Amino acid sequence: MLTLLFDGVAYGMLLFILALGLAVTMGLMNFINLAHGAFAMAGGYILIVLMQRAGWPFLACLPVAFVITAAAGALLERTLYRPMYGKPHLDQVLFSIGLTFMAVASVDYLVGSSPQTVQLPEWLRARFELGSGSWQLGMGAYRLFIIVACVALALGLQAILARTRFGSRLRAAVDDSRVAAGLGIPVNRVFLVTFAVGSGLAGLGGALGADILGLTPTFPLTFMVYFLIVCAVGGTSSITGPLVAALVLGIADVMGKYYVPKLGAFIVYVLMIAILLWRPQGLFSREAGR
Amino acid sequence: MSAASDRTAAARLLAPSRWRAWEVVLWLAIAATPVVLGGHAPLINEIAIFALFALSLDLILGYAGIVSLGHAAYFGAGAYAAGLFAKHVMPDPLVGLLVGIVVAAVLGALTSPMIVRGTDLTRLMVTMGIALVLEELANKFDNITGGIDGMQGVVIGPLLGRFEFDLGARVASVYSLAVLFVAFFLLRRLVHSPLGASLQALRDNRLRVSAIGMSVQARLAVVYTVGAALAGAAGALLTQTTGFVSLDVLEFHRSADVMLALVIGGAGWLYGGLAGAIAFKVMHDLLSAITTQYWTFWIGLFLVVLMLVGRDRLFKPWRWFKRAGGVR
């Protein structure tokens, strides 16, 4: 029971890191980027390639995955994404689905379509157990590591958002980008940095979670739905909304798969539809009251 | 005097709804394809079904402006309804088609209240969610639907009690084309009716339409139901002409493909659905003949280029070198 909860929290934190970039870009530029999962997949594959072919240690691969996907995100933002900002949502959706298709086929071509597994280092394969009986809490070191890393990242991001000059610019731009631009905030540059960091976070999340989520070339398509659920349910105006949504989703998914395995993702989808019908703007959106 | 000007005004308003010569020629040519290109009958059948599906999406997306990433829900509902009906009740194809349409329409009517609320993002998510929920349900009740292996033993009786469905798919292609034509004819009437005109007004400016006293929600619900019914017809046709249903009919790629076809052909124009379906299927056939495994890459590339450059500019090369004001 507690073990399941723990696994759910780990899964949810992972989803949060993966989806955060998407939430911010969606809130900031009103851009629906279905290709976000492709960055996560890229991160996962960078980890695999570095670890298996170059023999790098696990921990060293994580920052590299972040940096490379962030650079790729910045490059794509400058070249391909920028012309799409003013276009209707439908065009953006189709454009990013096209990018996703390309990413899926490219990875299939370069690495092959078989699922990849991560050789976790020894110290991450340990297991701790606390308590006994039905309230026993079993913690895998790997999942514990994920939770710790994600909590640290979330706190760090929250600090950046709340304390720094860049954070206040970003918040201003999310609230009302036209007024922010009028006040002399370089909204475009803020967005470029945010997009890059968001992509990098997705890459990092993909690398961190490669073992839990399972890495195949169709990764962006399978998990796209989850990222979108986190953003649509959590709202895009704050960092807390996606966090809560991701945790709820992670716990619901793990519990659902354990107790009613045949229903699979059914519970998650029904929950999403219900929440969206109840609060179309997301659970924690400030616009919801308007 | 005023009666005469009324008449000219009426004539001008009705002008776009009249059948043109080229449309008649086009449909005659389409009707001739199963005879002329008999060897490609399976492909013709597939294109006709896909075109019908694209038409149904064109109605709700192109005319009413409802974005949907889950239109396969109704396609799959029609497909499963027709399959189950043929298997357990009676094998007559026309009655089965009707059952498929009715089931999809009921599902559309039930889900339409969820579509009319919220923003585009909400709508995308909800439509996608509906399709995913149906897929999970079909997967769960695999004793009825056959789950991932598909439904076995769907036997369809002869069309009109006389024409057996053959392996060469000749009867199937004629049947699908006939249903496509009937649907097109009805849709053409619908989009030129007052309801159709109000839908286009609603797509362009929802606030104004509600300001002149028309009920936005009721209209959206009606058109969504009609679109669902047509998608159900397409799904039922697929089941009947292939004698097989599997989870594939509900999958996300089906919703995405039909959206893509419609965008290639151009939404908000009934022939857009037809042209897009033909272009998409032919492109798919050619690409998968060249690279079986990686054809999605080229589809993706095409989509990205199409969206970046814009449909108008890509398909009208004579405008490439002009600084046309209307393009941007």
How far CA B204 is from CA of A153, B60, B62, B195, in Å, comes to 44, 13, 11, 14
Q: Is A93 within 8 Å of B139 when comparing Cβ atoms? A: no
pLDDT of the residue at B328: 36
* Average confidence (pLDDT) over B132-143: 80
User: Tokens representing B218?
Assistant: 């009721």
Count of CA atoms in the C-beta half-sphere (13 A) of B238:
29
Of A94, A221, A231, the CB nearest to B303: A94
Instruction: Give just the sign of the alpha carbon dihedral A190, A279, A222, A55.
Output: positive
3-state secondary structure of B92: coil
User: Tokens representing A54?
Assistant: 């170059």
Count of CA atoms in the C-beta half-sphere (13 A) of A95:
25
Residues of B in contact with A231 (CB under 8 A): 121
| Segment A114-119 long-range contacts (CB within 8 Å, at least 24 positions apart) | A114/A216, A115/A214, A115/A215, A115/A216, A116/A44, A116/A45, A116/A48, A116/A210, A116/A215, A116/A216, A117/A211, A117/A215, A118/A47, A118/A48, A118/A51, A118/A58, A118/A210, A118/A211, A118/A215, A119/A51, A119/A52
Residues of A in contact with B125 (CB under 8 A): 228-229, 232, 272, 276
Express as a percent the part of chain B with pLDDT over 70: 88
pLDDT of the residue at A129: 66
B63 confidence band (pLDDT: 50, 70, 90): confident
Q: Is B140 within 8 Å of A90 when comparing Cβ atoms? A: no
Q: Is A95 within 8 Å of B307 when comparing Cβ atoms? A: yes
pLDDT of the residue at A198: 85
pLDDT of the residue at A170: 82
Residues of B in contact with A229 (CB under 8 A): 125
pLDDT of the residue at B229: 92
B106 confidence band (pLDDT: 50, 70, 90): very high
Residue B176 pLDDT > 80:
yes
For chain B, the average pLDDT equals: 80
Chain B interface includes A273 (CB < 8 A): yes
Residues of A in contact with B259 (CB under 8 A): 94
Q: Is A270 within 8 Å of B117 when comparing Cβ atoms? A: no
Of A100, A106, A280, the CB nearest to B119: A280
**CB of A272 closer than 8 Å to CB of A232:** yes
Q: Is A93 within 8 Å of B124 when comparing Cβ atoms? A: yes
Residue B321 pLDDT > 70:
no
At B247-303, the pLDDT tens digits run 888 888 888 888 888 888 877 778 888 888 888 888 888 887 777 677 778 878 888
Express as a percent the part of chain B with pLDDT over 90: 5
CATH of B30-278, one of 3.20.20, 1.10.3470, 3.30.70, 3.40.50: 1.10.3470
Distance between CA A258 and CA B284 in Å, rounded? 40
Q: What is the pTM of this model?
A: 0.80
Residue B224 pLDDT > 60:
yes
Chain A interface includes B268 (CB < 8 A): no
B327 confidence band (pLDDT: 50, 70, 90): very low
**Shortest Cα distance, chain B CAs vs residue A78, angstroms:** 13
What string of pLDDT tens digits covers the 290 residues of chain A?
677 788 888 888 888 888 887 887 777 667 778 888 888 888 888 888 888 777 777 777 888 888 888 888 888 888 888 777 777 777 888 888 888 888 888 888 877 767 777 677 666 666 666 666 556 666 777 788 888 888 888 888 888 888 888 888 887 887 777 888 888 888 888 888 888 888 888 888 888 877 777 777 777 877 887 888 888 777 766 777 788 888 888 888 888 777 777 666 777 788 778 877 777 666 665 543 33
For testing the chain B interface, which of A94, A96, A226 should be mutated: the one with the most B CBs within 10 Å? Answer: A94
Spatial CB neighbours of B124, under 8 Å, sequence gap ≥ 6? A32, A89, A93, A228, B67, B68, B69
**Residue that is written with structure tokens 């397409």 in the block:** B234
Most confident of A198-207, B189-198, B299-308: A198-207
pLDDT of the residue at A131: 62
Domain boundaries, chain B: 30-278, 291-328
User: Tokens representing A122?
Assistant: 């020894």
Distance between CA B270 and CA B266 in Å, rounded? 9
Residue B8 pLDDT > 50:
yes
Residues of A in contact with B302 (CB under 8 A): 98
User: Which among A276, A245, A267 is positioned nearest to A11, based on CA atoms?
Assistant: A245
* Average confidence (pLDDT) over B9-24: 75
